[in-house]
Copies of this chain bind each other. A is one copy, B any other.
């Protein structure tokens, strides 16, 4: 299985998406890569790269993710060619995951959003709490 950006050859794709075009699939892609689970899974896999990470390890390193949600997140990443899956035919089978070069390139933009969120969380939390207090005492509308 080849992945985007690794194939080369004459079929190099130059089409650029436009998120402001309602018919462009970039919109759905943006929602897929914008979830907290994608952000965390990509971070864990990027930190491990080029080593593979097993499903059980991934689940441990993304605390709180359910088996089902992690499976769905990985399936979506594999479908988009961002993650590669390798199955060792043992009993039970060992399943390993790695980022493709394209998946690795997603780490930096996702990290920017994650770091923004972590950096400003306290501020936003304090603001929200203050608004709730103001509303409770009738000083805000």
Q: Point out residues on A near B: beta carbons under 8 Å.
A: 1, 3-5, 11, 13-22, 24-31, 33-36, 39-40, 61-64, 79-82, 102, 105-106, 108-110, 112-128, 131, 140
What residue of chain B has the Cβ atom nearest to residue A100's Cβ? B127
Contact between A36 and B39, CB atoms less than 8 A apart: no
What residue of chain B has the Cβ atom nearest to residue A29's Cβ? B117
Some 25 contacts from A to B, beta carbons below 8 A apart, are A1-B131, A1-B140, A4-B123, A13-B122, A13-B125, A15-B121, A15-B125, A19-B36, A19-B118, A20-B61, A21-B63, A22-B63, A26-B118, A27-B64, A30-B39, A30-B113, A30-B114, A31-B36, A33-B113, A34-B35, A82-B124, A102-B124, A109-B109, A112-B112, A112-B113
Contact between A123 and B39, CB atoms less than 8 A apart: no
A106 to B: closest C-beta gap in Å:
6
Residues of chain B with a CB closer than 8 A to A79's CB: 128, 131
What would 19 more interface pairs be, CB under 8 Å, given A80-B128, A81-B128? A4-B120, A4-B127, A11-B126, A13-B123, A15-B122, A16-B119, A19-B118, A20-B62, A25-B121, A28-B36, A33-B113, A33-B117, A34-B36, A80-B127, A102-B123, A102-B124, A109-B109, A112-B112, A112-B113
Contact between B118 and A16, CB atoms less than 8 A apart: yes
Counting chain B CB atoms within 10 Å of each CB, the highest count among A16, A36, A106 belongs to: A36
